[in-house]
Chains A and B, each alone.
Chain A
Amino acid sequence: MAVINVTGGDVAILSLGNSSTLAEPDNAAVFQIPLLQDVSVSTAPGTVRYSTLDSTSSSAFTTVVENEITFNMLLDDDAFFGNAGVTDNEVATNGLWSTSNSKTEVFFSISFEGDTTASGGYYLEGKGFIGGLAPSASIDGAVWLSPGSIIVNGDLTKQTL
């Protein structure tokens, strides 16, 4: 048992691909989003509350889980606008902007403990749609920054390398 230290630079990784295999952290053609400042995984079970005459407290039951990945990043031109030189992963070829704009479903993984088999680390995988891109620039900020999100379609699945 130990905390997961992310300061190494190769631990917390968001990866994309146009298939679940391509999105696996250790796949040679995986598209790792560079220059992430932070990444958050949100999993929120829907609930409905109800009251009964025989209880002074409300009860609840769950409905569906809404999953979302959110992140903030410095813009990398290849990652954002695509790299035509990449031919084995369409998400990398088209970039985040075009993939979001075309509403193309992508597969993703979030590594919690690195991207090598040797690490044996946990990661979450799923599929969804890229959204929330809002690139902004200011002279104080000096570089382009953007938030982003993946609206998850379905489950987040726990995996290990």
Chain B
Amino acid sequence: MAIRDDLITQITTNIAAHSNVSISQELPFDQSGIPLYDKNMGVIYVDEQELNVEQLYRTLDQGNVNQTTTTVNAYLSVDAKNEYSDINTVVANLLIARNVVTNVTESNSDYETEITDDVITYTFEYNFITV
């Protein structure tokens, strides 16, 4: 199962108690060049995962060991003027969803916000390193 699928499953579980937020599995998630998370506030969209493979060890017999960094972004937009009272909990639950991915040497998640007009867009970034 792809890391993106694991994340969607875990986020679905983590936000089950928050009725004002839901998650979409849709890909791609734009319409006429406009991201759907800008139109559908309160819906989390998870982007396709991106892989970056680097050489971790080189050996004299070319038995090289690689490490793969998988990056997944997720987006959530909410009304800036009427932000959910539980938005901090929702954000925390989205961040810890990374723990569902196991057998990694490193897993990180963070987010940043951007306010455009009356909309706050939360952009989450998940990084997983596997060998």
- Residues of chain A whose beta carbon lies under 8 Å from any beta carbon of chain B: 6, 8-13, 32, 34-39, 73-74, 139-140, 142-143
CB distance from B60 to the nearest CB of A (A): 5
Q: Does B65 interact with chain A (Cβ within 8 Å)?
A: yes
Contact across chains for B105 and A74 when beta carbons are under 8 A apart:
no
If over half of A's interface residues share one DSSP class (helix, strand or loop), that class is named, otherwise mixed; here it is: loop
Q: Does B116 interact with chain A (Cβ within 8 Å)?
A: no
Interface residues on B, range: 10 to 19
The interface bits of chain B over 58-72 (1 if a CB of A lies within 8 angstroms of the residue's CB, else 0) are 111111010100000
CB distance from A92 to the nearest CB of B (A): 15
Q: Which of B12-64 contact A (CB under 8 A)?
A: 56-63
Since A38-B60, A74-B65, A140-B105 are in contact, a sample of 15 more A-B pairs with Cβ atoms closer than 8 Å, ordered by chain A residue number, is A6-B60, A8-B62, A9-B62, A10-B61, A12-B60, A13-B60, A36-B59, A36-B60, A37-B57, A37-B58, A37-B59, A74-B57, A139-B105, A142-B67, A142-B131
Contact across chains for A74 and B59 when beta carbons are under 8 A apart:
yes
CB distance from A74 to the nearest CB of B (A): 6
Contacts of B63 in A (CB 8 A): 34-35, 74
Contacts of B59 in A (CB 8 A): 34-37, 73-74
Bound Cα distance A34, B62 (Å): 9
Bound Cα distance A6, B56 (Å): 19
